[in-house]
């Protein structure tokens, strides 16, 4: 067999042992590249600070988030979570080296497709539940579940959670109350309530609402008041083909009160599994690992 390493031509841009390839994504504060790890002979993804657009204090904050994410999620090894290999500071650059996942974020995928087919949505949310159950089992609350933080490969049907930059350990006080407001649970805005694993359940329910309907569960006008006191527009009025069982599942995941929600990501997953078996028996949608499901 020919060694693929010999076929590779040196890239014009390298950082450390990594040869940068194509840019995979760009935000206001960061860049993500596909790169080649010359030592391990594998493709990786590298996330780095977009320094030219930020001031010194903002750069410092992003770098702190890099190291926080690596400490929080660097030990994770689960098929539905993007693996972090390393976080590096070489004196000039600070960057995270991660598993390269073909595909795109679920947010970008939806820009091309619009609302997803029910079976595809169920498969994605089921896999996210498994990833969350694993993270929660290891004492970590993600705190920013949303389509933009889910990598998805539609051909392979694989979904993976990513970006634990504002996650916190269950036993520690949460970081400053930041996140993506469109998916945030009521407890974010109620000083008498705590951020718990159920906060992630709510955010994943909000994500499910979004990928089924194409709409955000709460509008950009007076959002906090809606999250605290109002229900989203009924799914039936936006997507008549969604079954009652599935609507009830989304509503339960997004319940205002903790006691009315699924009490774990594993419980949420079991309900998705029941619906898949009901609507799509023998479909192969449940081929993901069931570890941490009996918690």
**Domain boundary at 99, 114, 130, which?**
99
For residues 153 and 36, membership in a common domain is answered with: no
**Domain boundary at 53, 72, 99, which?**
99
| Catalytic-labelled residue, pool 37, 94, 144, 163 | 144
* The pLDDT value given to residue 9: 46
Q: Which domain holds residue 91?
A: 4-99
Strand, helix or coil for residue 24: strand
CATH number, domain of 185, equals 1.10.510.10
Distance CA 261, CA 189 (A): 17
Q: List the structure tokens of 115.
A: 């609302």
Residue 286 inside a domain? The answer is no
214-256 residue pLDDT tens: 999 998 788 999 999 999 999 999 999 999 999 999 999 999 9
**Can you tell me which residue has the tokens 């080649």?**
36
Distance CA 47, CA 16 (A): 14
Distance CA 263, CA 245 (A): 18
For residues 120 and 218, membership in a common domain is answered with: yes
The candidate with the shortest Cα–Cα distance to 251, out of 201, 196, 194, is 201
The candidate with the shortest Cα–Cα distance to 135, out of 163, 98, 109, 107, is 163
Helix %, strand %, coil % of the chain (to 5): 40, 20, 40
- Catalytic residue check, 241: no
Q: List the structure tokens of 235.
A: 């799914």
Distance CA 228, CA 222 (A): 10
Whole-number percent of the chain with pLDDT over 70? 92
Residue 192 inside a domain? The answer is yes
Residue 42 inside a domain? The answer is yes
Distance CA 55, CA 278 (A): 53
Buried (b) or exposed (e) across 6-35, using 16+ Cβ within 10 A? eeeeeeeeebbebbbbeebeeeeebbbbbb
Q: How confident is the model at residue 288 (pLDDT cuts 50, 70, 90)?
A: low
Residue 293 inside a domain? The answer is no
For residues 95 and 114, membership in a common domain is answered with: no
Q: How confident is the model at residue 89 (pLDDT cuts 50, 70, 90)?
A: confident
Count up the domains in the chain and report the number: 2
For residues 40 and 126, membership in a common domain is answered with: no
The candidate with the shortest Cα–Cα distance to 207, out of 106, 114, 66, is 106
CATH number, domain of 90, equals 3.30.200.20
For residues 70 and 114, membership in a common domain is answered with: no
For residues 15 and 90, membership in a common domain is answered with: yes
For residues 83 and 227, membership in a common domain is answered with: no
Beta-bridge mates of residue 188: none
For residues 191 and 211, membership in a common domain is answered with: yes
Predicted TM-score (pTM) of this structure: 0.89
For residues 88 and 111, membership in a common domain is answered with: no
Residue 200 inside a domain? The answer is yes
For residues 154 and 275, membership in a common domain is answered with: yes
């Amino acid at each position: 067999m020919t060694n693929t390493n010999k076929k590779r031509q040196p890239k014009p841009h390298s950082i450390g042992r990594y040869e940068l390839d194509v840019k995979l994504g760009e935000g206001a504060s960061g860049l993500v590249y596909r790169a080649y790890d010359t030592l391990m002979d594998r493709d990786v993804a590298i996330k780095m600070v977009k320094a030219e657009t930020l001031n010194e204090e903002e750069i410092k904050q992003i770098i702190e988030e890099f190291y926080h994410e690596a400490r929080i999620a660097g030990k994770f090894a689960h098929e539905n979570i993007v693996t972090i290999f390393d976080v590096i500071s070489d004196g000039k650059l600070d960057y995270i080296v991660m598993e390269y996942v073909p595909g795109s974020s679920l947010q970008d995928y939806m820009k091309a497709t619009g609302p997803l087919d029910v079976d595809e949505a169920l498969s994605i949310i089921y896999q996210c539940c498994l990833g969350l159950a694993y993270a929660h089992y290891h004492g970590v609350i993600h705190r920013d579940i949303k389509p933009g933080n889910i990598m998805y490969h539609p051909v392979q049907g694989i979904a993976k959670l990513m970006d634990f930059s504002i996650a916190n350990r269950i036993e520690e006080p949460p970081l400053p109350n930041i996140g993506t407001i469109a998916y945030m649970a009521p407890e974010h805005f109620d000083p008498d309530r705590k951020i718990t694993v159920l906060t992630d359940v709510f955010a994943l329910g909000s994500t499910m609402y979004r990928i089924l309907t194409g709409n955000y569960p709460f509008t950009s006008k007076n959002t906090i008041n809606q999250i605290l006191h109002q229900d989203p527009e009924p799914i039936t009025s936006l997507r008549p083909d969604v079954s009652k069982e599935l609507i009830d599942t989304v509503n339960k995941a997004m319940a205002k009160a903790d006691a009315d929600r699924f009490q774990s990501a594993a419980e949420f997953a079991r309900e998705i599994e029941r619906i898949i078996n009901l609507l799509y028996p023998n479909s192969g949608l449940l081929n993901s690992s069931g570890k941490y499901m009996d918690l």
